[in-house]
Structure 1
Amino acid sequence: MSEEAALQREYYLRKDRVVMANEKTLSEKEVILLVKRGDRGAYRLIVESYMQRAYYIALGFVRNAQDAMDISQESFIKAFRRIRSFDSERPFFPWFYKLLKNLCLDHLKRRSRIQEVPLEEDRVLKDEHEDREMKEVLWKGIERLPVEQREVIILRYFQQLSYQEIAEVTGKPIGTVMSSLYYAKKRLKEMIKKFLSSEK
């Protein structure tokens, strides 16, 4: 391989763009096209771009750090194997998210019961002032939500996505997203209210 060709295979991240060693900036679409041609180095950057988001989404679903890491890694492997079927004219993450979500749901189906994880180690919950028991009630409430409602809670409050972004990622109308979020919050508030009443 010539020196020029070697440089072409060296990439690094700069904000939301991918930059090659020769300073040529590539869009995500261009990187995906390189991946489709078998460039594993380019795919590594896709993984680096989305791994943290994938991990926290998986963690929100399965509530176990190691399982979340395993699932997020597996989802990237599956995405790489299926990358040729991906329409590079579309954004990568909504397509990838469906693979990730399905793996999370498959994991939950295989698991006979929810594994308890020490909440102080659960990095999804960011409010350090919340009482441990309240956190447990909140998480138990989230776990009991229908999948569609749990999904929008995770994307909205733990990933800070807008309604429009959630709609794009999940492939659902924005009205459906807002409705699911409304009923999810209503149900969670009822659970917390019931818990507070029992504490009096």
Structure 2
Amino acid sequence: MRSISALLLSLCLFAGTTSAATITYTENFNDDFPAWESNWLGLNSNLHNYYELHPIFRDNSLRGDNLDGLWLADENFADTEAHIRFNDDFGRSIINFSIDITTWDTNLFFKAYDMDNNLIHSVWISSFEGAYDYPGNYQTISFDSTNGLRGFSIVGGVAEGNTSIDNVIAVIAQKTTAVSESSSLLLMMFGALALVAGRRRQIR
């Protein structure tokens, strides 16, 4: 019986094992606007096109003079800083984040926050003014997180209308069950039990 119990225990433990899989999401804003709004970044954050909220334009199909990216804004257009936030479920699963960024303002900083609102990455944004070229001249910012990503802020000056982003990449961790506790698993367990019991009868 000890061997049977050990076998059943090992099968149960195997049924509960999980493995981590990752999915990589990329947004390069290459499609005609506003196509990106229906993609993962638009659906899972409060990111906006600057021209969508501008009181003169009010047109989310405009790129402005940006050939390669997006002039960003958040929903609070009156604030000159930009605070981009991810939806909780999506942000919680981010383990690596990368973004290309360029700006006119020489005083801007990029700051990223985990799901507990702890500052996990901070860097000065170089003023490349690179959005007018194709491909653009951007600074790449990349970092890992062990506690997801609440979002990022661009602060210290006038971010909205002066800051362009491109090639936004989020690596998502997903837990996948290796073997589920389904009827097929139960059949395998009972089959193993019957096999061991049958062998014991033959020995006797």
Whether the TM-score (by the shorter chain) exceeds 0.5 is no
The structure with the greater share of residues assigned to strand is 2
Larger radius of gyration: 2
The structure with the greater share of residues assigned to helix is 1
TM-score (norm 2): 0.25
